[in-house]
Amino acid sequence: MDFLMRYGFSSSQLINLLSKDPSILTRSLENQIIPSLEFLKGLVGTQENVIAAINRSAYTVKPSRLKRLVPNISSLRDHGVPNSHVSKFIIKQPDMFTMVDPDRFRTSVVAVHGMGFNPLSTRFVEAVRAMLISKSGWDEKYELMRVIPRCSVLEVLLSKGLIEKDMKWSTALKLTEKQFLERFVTKYEEEAAELMRAYHGMTESKGNPVHA
């Protein structure tokens, strides 16, 4: 407890951590807790970011979770995702890396890369996340007939300044068809008439890559 307080955790943060993962009290400070925190710091850069990630998910430094973190990060790096993007998502969405089986994670990364998403864009990781949180992942039909047209529409909106650059694409990709059309197509049809053409054109062609 004293070490974690000195590390920078506040009293409320410690209470939250211990209530969710009381097993941390049984771990060796020298052999488990400190190495885990230092490992995470090497990925996210600062102690403040380490604390932020653990606040998001108290299980982030649990040994069984960290075992998944390494191969899942490697899957992104192997496909050209910059360390800065990896760090950002570890801080904001640690469970994305620590809860998912590495084989499933890699399959999702390969699928997103094959769809044409640019790994240098944060949207690449957003798309991976959207795929992972679906119940069974995206099958080929879902990828081509649902995701690609939506990304085409979002690219048009972004180019016209109608949506924010930091908008989470994963949210849009998870909407029902009716919700997506109302929020991102019919809402803007007067200002961006090509939205319907982009949406229906991509739905019909089903094969153009998305450069997100």
The region that residue 80 occupies, defined by phi over 0 for left and psi between -120 and 50 for alpha, beta otherwise, is left
* CB within 8 Å of 18: residues ≥ 6 apart: 24, 25
Whether 46 and 55 have beta carbons less than 8 Å apart is answered as no
Residue 197 clears pLDDT 80, i.e. is over it: no
Q: Are 154 and 210 in contact (CB under 8 A)?
A: no
pLDDT at residue 73 in the model: 94
Question: Cβ contacts of residue 204 below 8 Å, gap of 6+?
Answer: none
Domain ranges of the chain: 139-212
Q: CB-based contacts of 8: which residues, under 8 Å, 6+ apart?
A: 47, 48, 51
pTM of the model: 0.67
pLDDT exceeds cutoff 60 at 165:
yes
Section 109-124 average pLDDT: 85
At residue 44, the pLDDT reads 92
Distance CA 130, CA 80 (A): 19
pLDDT digits (tens, 9 = 90+) for 66-116: 889 999 999 999 999 999 999 999 998 888 888 889 998 998 899 888 877
